[in-house]
Amino acid sequence: MPEKSDLALDKLLEFGGFPEPYIKSDNRFAKRWRRVHIDTIIREDLLDLEKVRDIKSIEILIDLLRARVGSAVSFTSLANDLQVSAHTVKHWLQILENLYIIFPVRPYSRNITRSILKETKYFLYDTGAVDGDFGAKLENTVACALLRELHFIEDIAGSRAGLYYLRDKEKHEVDFLVVIDNKPVMMIEVKTGDDNFSPALFRFGNLLKNSKVVQVVYDLKRKKTKNSVIMLPVHEFLRDFQLS
């Protein structure tokens, strides 16, 4: 029998974390709720805040982002898809952030200016809206949990907290890096079923020696530890995770 926390994770992956679809746990209801939810935000909240004429293109932009969760996003590529300028795309993305539809995860760099210039990943506050494979849904769910904890730390402790990803010139990559008061404290790699340690964790772990290093796996038979890198099931990580 799966643990209750395991079942809760499956519900989050399928229906998202908003109360109505999560509690109802019905796919038809969730689709209707999601359509109304986004439509209300775009056609009411957006028009209250911004003078935006091309509502249809913003709806298309949301669909493009839903399909690219977990991937670095090129402003130029999005601009070409939407046939608008890169400047317009950046503005629309900022609007969607302000409306709490998406949130950015930028590549980590000690030089913050350089970090902003590199490609950003975008995740959805509504995990159930992800239009990608299971891995994308899982990564988005972990991203939401990490962001929630970081917001809690900022509110309670007054610390500055940020969520980033790691990538070097050789394209070694780790999904998430938690930074508190400009100090990297934890890196997290998310896998659906691979019980082999990601080599990138050891590579970046040697560079950021004070960071806790964790690989979380959805379908994991047993926990493992290797050279201070911990591997554990995703639902246990989400259940017990806290930085405060």
Q: Whole domain around residue 171: which residue ranges?
A: 4-240
Return the SS3 of 164.
Answer: strand
Q: Rounded distance, CA 231 to CA 215, Å?
A: 5
pLDDT of the residue at 42:
85
Residues in the chain: 244
pLDDT of the residue at 23:
95
pLDDT of the residue at 2:
45
pLDDT of the residue at 1:
36
pLDDT of the residue at 115:
59
Torsion sign over Cα 10, 152, 119, 184: negative
Q: Give the chain's largest Cα–Cα span.
A: 55
Render 200-228 in DSSP notation, one character per residue: HHHHHHHHSTTSEEEEEESS-SS-EEETT
pLDDT of the residue at 116:
57
124 close to 140: Cβ distance less than 8 angstroms: yes
- Residue 16's alpha-carbon distances to 1, 121, 149, 150, 166, in angstroms, are 23, 19, 17, 19, 26
Total-model pTM: 0.91
Among candidate residues 175, 179, 118, the one with its CA nearest the CA of residue 141: 175
Among candidate residues 27, 30, 119, the one with its CA nearest the CA of residue 73: 119
Domains: count for the chain:
1
Tens digits of per-residue pLDDT, 25-51? 999 999 999 999 998 888 887 777 667
Q: What is the residue-level pLDDT of the chain in tens, covering all 244 positions? A: 345 558 899 999 999 999 999 999 999 999 999 999 998 888 887 777 667 778 888 999 999 999 999 999 999 999 999 999 999 999 999 999 999 999 999 999 876 556 555 789 999 999 999 998 999 999 999 999 999 999 999 999 889 999 999 998 888 999 999 999 999 999 999 999 988 999 999 999 999 988 999 999 999 989 999 999 999 999 999 999 887 6
User: Token match 């991203």: residue?
Assistant: 143
Tens digits of per-residue pLDDT, 81-95? 999 999 999 999 999
pLDDT of the residue at 173:
95
Sheet holding 224-226, edge to edge: 72-73, 120-124, 102-107, 161-167, 173-180, 183-191, 212-217, 229-233, 224-226
